């Protein structure tokens, strides 16, 4: 492999590496967003539970 | 939902196929340049990346103009995302250009070539956009100041693009696409166009993906605030 061939291959590999790095970083971002969605779903469920409790108490008394 | 509203996955697949075809054509089909030999093959990735960087900065400036004109918040995120992707392509332009310079001129960088310096100024200008943006609290003021800054940068895009044509060149290759038509063989032009289509599709796919992620991020923050 000549020097020119090595450099040209390196240039194309740099581009490929950047795209791969972007995909990896994006995968991390996606997993963070998934975690946040799960946390918010838990928060929403806990809130629903708190709102449902007084109604349940009322139905026991009634 | 129409294809135009969610073109990300199709564009990503299209970009992958076109880039694979373009790289195969560049390495194994297109003949070597008479003057530069094998090193000229960087052209098929370097020039499309540089043109995509210009397109992203131009798109960001256009969205900024829309924000200032219409006052709709959505243009701020679109402009910011386009500039974000433009900076990524700007880094790649500088890196692939430096590798080409090392083979052809035996240096990684030269300050004597005005078009390189103009591109570097354009790149640094849009890199500073993020510093400006994050130095201001979120809100309409930040949106407007960022938009004005992005619009100012648009002046540098034609200057940088035309620098190769107007300023004359000591070392940098002359433009191959001129008003007299393409200054290269049909096979070279065909390979260049395949690579260009692949890189521009990749740029647009990254833009769509990044924009979707940023929108989701923003909605989650709003939802968290509402639930707190």
- The tens digit of pLDDT for each residue in B65-90 reads 999 998 888 899 999 999 999 999 99
The reported pLDDT for the residue numbered B168 is 60
Beta bridge mates, B37: B33
Query: pLDDT class for B167, splitting at 50, 70, 90?
Result: low
What ipTM was reported for this prediction? Answer: 0.79
Tell me the two tokens of residue B111. 């300050």
Nearest-angstrom CA–CA distance, B67 and B148: 10
User: Is B157:B51 a contact under the CB 8 Å cutoff?
Assistant: no
Residues 6 or more apart whose Cβ sits within 8 Å of residue B154 = B57, B58, B61
Q: Measured between alpha carbons, how far is residue B23 from residues A6, B42, B196 in Å?
A: 15, 10, 11
What residues in B contact A44, CB-CB < 8 Å?
A: 227
What residues in B contact A46, CB-CB < 8 Å?
A: none
Nearest to A37 among B37, B39, B220 (CB): B220
Q: Quick one: closest CA in B to A43, which residue?
A: B227
Interface test with B, best of A12, A42, A48 (most B CBs within 10 A): A12
Question: Would the pLDDT of A52 be above 80?
Answer: no
Q: Domain spans of chain B?
A: 44-227
B155 backbone dihedrals φ, ψ, rounded to 5°: -65, -35
The answer to whether B39 contacts A7, with C-beta atoms less than 8 Å apart, is yes
- The tens digit of pLDDT for each residue in B117-140 reads 888 999 999 999 999 999 998 889
Higher pLDDT, B200 or A51: B200
pTM of the model as a whole: 0.84
């Amino acid at each position: 492999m000549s020097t020119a061939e090595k450099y040209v291959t390196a240039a194309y590999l740099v581009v490929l590496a950047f795209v791969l790095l972007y995909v990896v970083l994006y995968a991390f971002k996606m997993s963070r967003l998934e975690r946040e969605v799960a946390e918010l779903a838990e928060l929403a469920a806990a809130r629903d539970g708190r709102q449902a409790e007084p109604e349940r108490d009322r139905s026991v008394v009634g | 939902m129409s294809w135009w509203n969610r073109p990300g996955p199709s564009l990503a697949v299209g970009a992958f196929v076109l880039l694979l075809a373009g790289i195969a054509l560049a390495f194994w089909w297109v003949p070597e340049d008479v003057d530069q030999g094998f090193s000229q093959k960087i052209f098929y990735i370097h020039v499309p990346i540089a043109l995509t960087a210009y397109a992203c900065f131009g798109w960001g400036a256009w969205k900024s103009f829309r924000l200032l004109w219409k006052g709709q918040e959505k243009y701020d995120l679109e402009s910011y995302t386009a500039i974000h992707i433009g900076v990524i392509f700007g880094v790649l332009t500088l890196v692939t250009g430096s590798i080409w310079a090392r083979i052809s001129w035996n240096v990684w960088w030269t300050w004597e070539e005005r078009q390189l310096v103009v591109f570097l100024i354009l790149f640094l200008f849009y890199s500073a956009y993020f510093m400006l943006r994050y130095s201001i609290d979120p809100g309409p003021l930040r949106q407007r100041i960022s938009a004005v800054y992005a619009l100012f940068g648009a002046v540098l895009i034609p200057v940088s693009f035309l620098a190769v044509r107007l300023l004359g060149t000591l070392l940098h290759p002359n433009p191959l696409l001129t008003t007299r038509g393409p200054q290269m063989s049909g096979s070279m032009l065909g390979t260049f166009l395949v690579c260009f289509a692949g890189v521009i599709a990749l740029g647009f796919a990254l833009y769509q993906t990044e924009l979707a992620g940023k929108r989701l991020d923003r909605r989650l923050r709003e939802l968290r605030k509402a639930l707190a």
